[in-house]
Amino acid sequence: MTHTATTTVPVWIFGAKGMLAGELLRLLDLHPALELRGAVSRSEQSVLDAHPHAATKARTCNADEAKLAIAAALEAGSGAALFLALPHGESVAVWSALRRELGARAGELHVVDLAADFRLRDARRYASAYGHEHAAPEELAGFAYGLPELQRSEIARSRRVAAAGCFATAMQLACVPAARAALLDTTRPWVLHGVTGSSGSGVEPKPGTHHPWRHGNLWAYALEGHRHEAELAQALESVGPVPPIHFVAHSGPFARGIHLTCALPLARRLTTAEARSAYAEVFDGATFVDVLDGRVPDLRSISGSNRAQLAVSVRGDVLNVLCTLDNMTKGGAGQALQCLNLMLGFPEHWGLPRAGLGVC
């Protein structure tokens, strides 16, 4: 379905209290053709009380009210879109219930899940990554994987998309272009180090994300393996052998952003110029990915934007790739909106800022 700027598509958000929902509210206010009709939350707190930065007239509603309104919009032929901004593990239950209630009309609804419930096609890989069986493995094939720069055509053909994870987005942007060009040795470990801001831990305060503890501090976590490695392995399967992936995540002393450093073993001799050319070719024309030349990525340049920055260099037999992105936008709500734009036939950039915040 292709829409125009004069078309207004009604949108609902499930999980209205969370940080990614708050970011969706900010971005939807910039969108010329999406109208937020309701935000579902288990909390009785209003949308504006939960997110005072938002400029929205949408009210908080319960799930039953939202389901009735979605059904009415589909019945009227105006279309409808749904963002599932729920904690990991909850989207599958909400979607399964909504699908049953909507019946045949469920296939007309555009759904973007921001959680991890539908990102992995293989239920066994999901169980290995998340430590429990998937609650509805039959639903996995119904969701396209949502990383527009690498799966644009599949997303555009889909009604249901699982937006890629934040670290997983950075890892794939950094590694997949070189893998596709057969530049890398898959028999040796690929070593990746990522640092993320505190917003990646969600809206509920925890000892490790409380600002006085996080400020001026830095530490590693998930040393035995991070769940987002499974998304990178899934992407690499379509290219060739999957190498040993050694990813170490770190908690950084800032709120927004991811900085990823990759040391990737080369399969043959290569110059920095040749490596950069391979990345520039993959992302030629990509609105939200910049392949830098002579500069290194930094967080301030991309904070608040839907843009990712990449830089590559060769040192001996290792390809070094740096990537920065905002986990709240390109790694979260912005990516979800970018996917929905593609699904609805809107220009990919609608509602999405390219400029970072700069000095702040």
Distance between CA 168 and CA 174 in Å, rounded?
10
> Is 166 tagged catalytic?
yes
pLDDT averaged over every residue in the chain: 92
Phi, psi of 144, rounded to the nearest 5 degrees: -75, 155
- With bands split at pLDDT 50, 70 and 90, how would you rate the model's confidence at 52? low
**pLDDT of res. 327:** 96
Mean pLDDT of 194-220: 78
Mean pLDDT of 167-180: 98
**pLDDT of res. 3:** 55
Between 30-44, 99-113, 167-181, 316-330, the lowest mean confidence (pLDDT) is in 30-44
Mean pLDDT of 169-186: 98
Interval 55-80: pLDDT, tens: 666 678 888 999 999 999 999 988 99
CATH 3.30.360.10 residue window(s) in the chain: 167-325
**pLDDT of res. 97:** 93
Mean pLDDT of 137-143: 95
Of all residues in the chain, the percent with pLDDT exceeding 70 is 91
CATH 3.40.50.720 residue window(s) in the chain: 9-164+332-344
Answer whether residue 114 shows pLDDT above 90: yes
Beta bridge partners of 319: 264, 314
CB atoms inside a 10 Å sphere around CB 154: 15
pTM over 0.85: yes
The fourth-level CATH superfamily of domain 9-164+332-344 is NAD(P)-binding Rossmann-like Domain (3.40.50.720)
**pLDDT of res. 333:** 97
- CATH level 3 topology of 167-325: Dihydrodipicolinate Reductase; domain 2 (3.30.360)
Interval 217-271: pLDDT, tens: 999 999 988 999 999 999 999 999 999 999 999 999 988 999 999 999 999 999 9
Residue 250 near residue 196, CB atoms below 8 Å:
yes
Interval 286-295: pLDDT, tens: 999 999 999 9
Q: Which of 166, 175, 262, 323 is catalytic?
A: 166
Mean pLDDT of 145-159: 98
Between 101-115, 190-204, 305-319, the lowest mean confidence (pLDDT) is in 190-204
**pLDDT of res. 200:** 61
Residue 163 near residue 112, CB atoms below 8 Å:
yes
